[in-house]
Chain A
Amino acid sequence: MNIQQVNISENNFEQCIKCTICTVYCPVVPVNPDYPGPKQAGPDGERLRLKRGEFFDESLKYCLNCKRCEVACPSGVKIGDIIQLARIKYGKKKPKLRDVMLANTDFVGSVATKLAPVVNASLALKPVKLAMDGILKIDAHRTFPKYSSQTFESWYKKNAAYKQQSYKNQFSFFHGCYVNYNYPQLGKDFVKVMNAIGYGVNLLDEEKCCGVALVSNGLINQARRQAELNIKNIRKSVLEKGCPIVGVSSTCVFTMRDEYPHLLGVDNADVRDGINLATRFIYHLIDECGVKLKFRDGIKMKIAYHTPCHMEKLGWAYYSASLLRMIPGVELQMLDSQCCGIAGTYGFKKENYPVSQGIGASLFRQIENSGADFVATDCETCKWQIEMSTSKKVMHPVSVLAEALDVEETIKANAK
C-alpha cells in the first residue's frame, strides 16, 4: 500500500499528539490567564475551527507570535503559524487607529524623521505621554525610540554609496525601519565592518518595512503588498545581480524568510536561502571563506547575550555568540533564552503593558544580576524593552564588532 506513507496532510496541526510540552514554554500563559495557551489556541482550536469558523476566539490576539511553542514542540507542529493564520482568517476586530500607527513603522518614521527634534522632545514630554496613554492607549511607561534627524538611506547616499563598487564582493543590505529612522549608527557600523573585510554594501532598489508589525496588528493586505514588493526587489538583487540580502534585525530576516510564505502566502522559495542575518553571514565568511577579523588590543568587556524569540526560532544565536567570542578580552554570558515581553508593538499597547513586563521580569532579573557591562542582542525591540526595564545598555553584536575592530589590520588581513 503506498498511501498513508506520510501520515500528514497540509493540516500540520494533526501531528500534535497532545503531549502538552508547548504549554510549558509559552511566555504568555503564566502571566495572562485570558490567553488559552498554545495547545488550545493552536492545534486543539484549529480542529474545532475546521468544523465551523464560529469556534474562533478573539483571545488568540494575546499570542505574542514568539514561536517558542514551535521550538519546543517535539512533533514539528507550526503552532504559532496556526494561531496567526486563524487570526488572519477568522479575526473580525478592525485594527484601531493606534494599531495602524504602531504598525506603519516606515510611514510614521519618515514623517517623524523630518520633524525629529520636535517629535523626540514631545514624545518625551509628560503631557504628550499621558495624552498618548489616554487617547491612543499607548502605555505612558513606554519610552519611544528616538527618531534620527537623518535617515540611514540619506546618510548612505551622501557618504557611503560612491565607494562601494570598489570592493570585490557585493551584497545588498536590508536595513529595516529601525536602522533607517531610529538608529542609523548601526547601519554605519555594519558598513564599516563589511567594508573592512572587502564587501561592498548596496541598498535594494526600493525597501519597505518587512511588515511584521502589520501582521501582528491585523493589517494583512498591506503586509502582503509590502512583502510582494520586497520580494520583487530581493529577487532582482539575488537572482539578477547575484547579491545576497543581509539584514541586521533578526525579526526582519525571520519575517522575510518564514512569515512571508507561511502567513502571507508570498512565495520566496527561490530566494529564501539568499536572505541572511548579518552575524550569520559574517560567521560563514570567516568559517568557510577565509575572511579574518582583527581586533584592537586592550579590549575588556563582559557581555550578556539575549536570544530574541525569532532568533531562537531561526536557531542562529550560535552565530552571534561565536562572533562575539572571537573578540579577545570579551567575556560572554548567554542569558537563558526567554521572551523579553515586548513582542514588537505588543508591549506598547496600554492593555498589554503589565503582561509585557510580567513576561520579561525573569529576564530582567537575570540581566541585573549578570554583572555584565552591557547586553548584546540582534533585535531592536528587545533592545527598547531591556533598556527601559533594566539599568543596562543594549548593543547590537555588529556594533560591538565595529567598536572592537582594528579596521586597518582587518583590511590588510583580507587583502591577501
Chain B
Amino acid sequence: MKFDVVIIGGGLAGLTCGIRLQKNGVKCAVISAGQSALHFSSGSFDLLNKLPDGSDVDCPVEAAGKLDALHPYKKIGELLGFYADEAKSQLIGCGVDVVGEAGANTYRITPMGTLRPTWLTMSDFTAFPDGNSLSGKKLLIVNIAGFLDFNTKFIADSFESRGAECRIVAVSLPETERLRLSPTEMRAPNIARALEPETVLAALLSEIKSRSEWADCVVLPAVFGLSDLAPLDYMRSVIGKKVCLVPTMPPSVPGIRTQLVLRRAFERMGGVFMLGDSVAKADLKNGEIAAIYTENHGDYGIKAHCYVLATGSYFSKGLVARPDSVVEPVFGCDVDYEKKRADWYDSSFFARQGYMRFGVVTDDCFRAVKNGKALANLYAAGSVLCGFDALQQGCGAGVSMLSALYVADKIMKG
C-alpha cells in the first residue's frame, strides 16, 4: 500500500494533521491503535491557561512568548495566532461547532460545577466570560434517574457558592429505566443512544419542561447527540429557556461525537482511517523511514513519502515508561526524560508531575530525532512531544492541533 503521508495515531493531533493534508490533496492514511483520548474530552480545547511559574494566562497568544525554549509553541513562534485560528476554522469546517478566541480565554464548566479557563468550547456547552455569570440565577439541575456519573450535589454546591439558587430533580423514562437493569452500563453514551429516537427525546424534554417553570436555566448532563448535533438543537428549541450542559465523567458524549465527526470528515476527503491497528516494525534506510509494517497488514508493507508520529503520550502508548527509562516504542526516537525515577513524580497527586513533560525530541520543524539526528521524513505532533505539561499549563489540545497543522504545512512545503 502506498500513500503520500502515513500518520500514526488517530486522535486529535493525527486527525487534525490528516484533514489538513487530505484537504490539500495529499493522500493520507491514519493508523490508530484503538480509540483516542477525545473520548474523555471536557468539551473544550485549551490553548494555554498557565505559565510554568504558575501565573494565570488571560491571552494565550501573548503569554506563549514567556514559555520555556523547549515548549512546542516556541517552535511555532509567531505563527501561533495564525495556527490557532486555522485550528478553530478547521474544526468548524469539519462540523465541530466551537466558540472562543486565542486572544482571550473564557471559562468552561467542569463535572464538579467549577469554572476553569479555556480556549474553544463546543456549542453543547456554555463559554462563560467570567465567574460571575451565575450570580442570582435560579438553576434547575436535572439528572437522569440512576445515572451515577453526574454529580448533582457537587454541581449545586459550586453554583451556589457563585450566588446561584439551585434545585435538583431526577427524571426517568421507560427507555432510561431499561438501562438501569444493568448494574454498570448506564453510562453517558448509552443514555445518549437511548435518547436518540425523537419520540423518546420529546418525552424527556416535556418532562423536564413541566418541572422547570421556576428556573431561569436548566442544567443537564451532556448526554445528548452521540453522532450529531441534532438532538441538542431540538432540545434547546423545546425547553425554551437557557440550557446549560455540564460534562459527565467519562466516556464523554461530545468527545465521542468529535472523534466521529473528524474521522468522517477525513474519510469524506478521501483519507484512509485504519482503526485497531498498530505499527509492528519500521524499515529505516539512510536516515529515513522506508516502510512500516503493521499488526493487521502483516508482511504487506505500507509506504509513504512522509510519516507523522502522533501516537500520544503514555495513555495511548506513544510513550512507554519502564522502571528505569521512558521510550518511544514505534521508531525508538530519542525521549527527553529525567534519569532518576524519583524525579518523575511529586508525592501530591495534584501537583506538577515531572513525567507529564517527557516526550520525543524534535528539531525546529518537529522532525523526530533518533540517536541525536533528525530523521528526514518523520515528523512528530501532539502529546508525544516533549517540553510541555498539558495539565498544569492547560495546553494539551492546543499543542495537539497547532503542532499537527504546523507539521502538515511543513510536509506540503517539502
Name A's B-contacting residues (CB within 8 A): 1, 3-5, 7, 17, 19-21, 23-25, 29-30, 33-37, 39-40, 70-76, 273, 280, 284, 287-288, 312-316, 318, 334
Residues of chain A within 8 A (CB-CB) of B276 are 70-72, 312-313, 315
> Which one of A17, A21, A29 contacts B39 once the chains associate, using CB atoms below 8 Å?
A21
Q: What's the nearest-Cβ distance from chain B to residue A361, in Å?
A: 10
Q: What's the nearest-Cβ distance from chain B to residue A44, in Å?
A: 9
- List the 4 closest A-B pairs by CB distance, nearest first: A315-B296, A71-B276, A74-B34, A33-B181
Q: What's the nearest-Cβ distance from chain A to residue B199, in Å?
A: 15
Q: Are B298 and A315 in contact (CB under 8 A)?
A: no
- Give B278-294 as 1s and 0s: 1 = Cβ < 8 Å from A's Cβ atoms: 10000000000000001
Tell me if B193 counts as interface (CB < 8 A to partner A).
yes
Chain A interface: which of B74-82, B184-192, B214-222? B184-192
Q: Are A74 and B315 in contact (CB under 8 A)?
A: yes
Give 19 A-B pairs besides A1-B323, A19-B250, A76-B34 with Cβ atoms closer than 8 angstroms. A4-B323, A5-B322, A20-B187, A21-B39, A23-B189, A24-B251, A30-B194, A33-B178, A33-B179, A34-B182, A36-B183, A37-B185, A40-B184, A74-B36, A74-B37, A74-B315, A287-B1, A315-B294, A318-B274
Residues of chain B within 8 A (CB-CB) of A280 are 300
Q: List 15 A-B contacts (CB under 8 A).
A: A20-B251, A23-B187, A33-B178, A33-B180, A36-B184, A39-B184, A71-B275, A71-B276, A72-B275, A73-B34, A76-B278, A312-B275, A315-B277, A315-B297, A318-B274
Q: Are A75 and B34 in contact (CB under 8 A)?
A: yes
Q: What's the nearest-Cβ distance from chain A to residue B365, in Å?
A: 28
Tell me if B53 counts as interface (CB < 8 A to partner A).
no
Q: Are B184 and A37 in contact (CB under 8 A)?
A: yes
> Which one of A17, A39, A74 contacts B35 once the chains associate, using CB atoms below 8 Å?
A74
> Which one of B36, B182, B256, B300 contacts A37 once the chains associate, using CB atoms below 8 Å?
B182
Residues of chain A within 8 A (CB-CB) of B183 are 36
Q: Are A71 and B34 in contact (CB under 8 A)?
A: yes
Residues of chain A within 8 A (CB-CB) of B34 are 21, 71-76
Give bound CA distance, A315 to B34, whole Å: 12
Known: A37-B182, A37-B185, A273-B298. A21 touches B251 (CB 8 A): yes
Q: What's the nearest-Cβ distance from chain B to residue A224, in Å?
A: 25
> Which one of B251, B274, B294 contacts A23 once the chains associate, using CB atoms below 8 Å?
B251
Known: A19-B250, A20-B250, A312-B276. A1 touches B324 (CB 8 A): yes
A272 nearest in chain B by CB position:
B298
Q: Are A24 and B272 in contact (CB under 8 A)?
A: no
Tell me if B344 counts as interface (CB < 8 A to partner A).
no
Residues of chain A within 8 A (CB-CB) of B39 are 19, 21, 24
Residues of chain A within 8 A (CB-CB) of B323 are 1, 3-5
Interface centre among B37, B179, B185, B275, by most chain A C-beta atoms within 10 angstroms, is B185
Residues of chain A within 8 A (CB-CB) of B190 are 23, 29-30
Residues of chain B within 8 A (CB-CB) of A313 are 276
Residues of chain B within 8 A (CB-CB) of A40 are 184
B32 nearest in chain A by CB position:
A74
Q: Are A33 and B40 in contact (CB under 8 A)?
A: no
Tell me if B267 counts as interface (CB < 8 A to partner A).
yes
Give bound CA distance, A19 to B275, whole Å: 17
Residues of chain A within 8 A (CB-CB) of B33 are 74, 76
Residues of chain A within 8 A (CB-CB) of B294 are 315
Q: What's the nearest-Cβ distance from chain A to residue B105, in Å?
A: 28
Residues of chain A within 8 A (CB-CB) of B178 are 33
Tell me if B353 counts as interface (CB < 8 A to partner A).
no
Q: Are B185 and A29 in contact (CB under 8 A)?
A: yes
Residues of chain A within 8 A (CB-CB) of B181 are 33-34
Q: What's the nearest-Cβ distance from chain A to residue B302, in Å?
A: 10
Q: What's the nearest-Cβ distance from chain B to residue A34, in Å?
A: 7
Q: What's the nearest-Cβ distance from chain B to residue A319, in Å?
A: 9
A77 nearest in chain B by CB position:
B34
Tell me if B151 counts as interface (CB < 8 A to partner A).
no
- Give B116-144 as 1s and 0s: 1 = Cβ < 8 Å from A's Cβ atoms: 00000000000000000000000000000
Give bound CA distance, A239 to B294, whole Å: 24
Give bound CA distance, A347 to B190, whole Å: 22
- Give B25-49 as 1s and 0s: 1 = Cβ < 8 Å from A's Cβ atoms: 0000000011111011000000000
Residues of chain B within 8 A (CB-CB) of A316 are 296
Q: Are B296 and A334 in contact (CB under 8 A)?
A: no
Tell me if B316 counts as interface (CB < 8 A to partner A).
yes
Give bound CA distance, A17 to B315, whole Å: 9
Q: Are B182 and A19 in contact (CB under 8 A)?
A: no
Residues of chain B within 8 A (CB-CB) of A30 are 190, 193-194
Give bound CA distance, A75 to B256, whole Å: 17
Give bound CA distance, A33 to B294, whole Å: 36
Q: Are B189 and A33 in contact (CB under 8 A)?
A: no
Q: What's the nearest-Cβ distance from chain B to residue A78, in Å?
A: 12
